[in-house]
Amino acid sequence: KIQNVRQVQDQGTRQGLEIPKIVHQNVKSRCVTPAFYELNKRWKFDGWSVYVHDEEAMTRLLRLQEINKMIPNLRQILRNCGND
């Protein structure tokens, strides 16, 4: 039984499981302002990936069957948030 965060980290490292170094950002549309672009460059770190998703892409992602298997209540959650 895992008791604390350190044990989770140790177990994950032993099994080769690490949290991916990825930053996901969600924006309303694919068109971003120059200010957003400049600010977004600050999120680029060595060894990290940065992904920017627009609302349409997020909607497609959340409707994927694989995601719904991982998060069984996702459809209900989206309905409750007014996104379905």
Query: Using CA atoms, how far apart are residues 79 and 7, in angstroms rounded to an integer?
Result: 36
Question: What number of H helices and E strands is found in the chain?
Answer: 5, 2
Q: What is the pTM of this model?
A: 0.51
* 55 confidence band (pLDDT: 50, 70, 90): confident
* 13 confidence band (pLDDT: 50, 70, 90): low
Q: What was the pLDDT predicted at 3?
A: 47
Q: What was the pLDDT predicted at 1?
A: 45
Name which of 19-33, 39-53, 60-74 the model is least confident about. Answer: 60-74
Q: What was the pLDDT predicted at 84?
A: 55
Residue 42 has pLDDT above 60, yes or no: yes
Beta strands (DSSP E) in 17-84 are: 22-27, 49-54
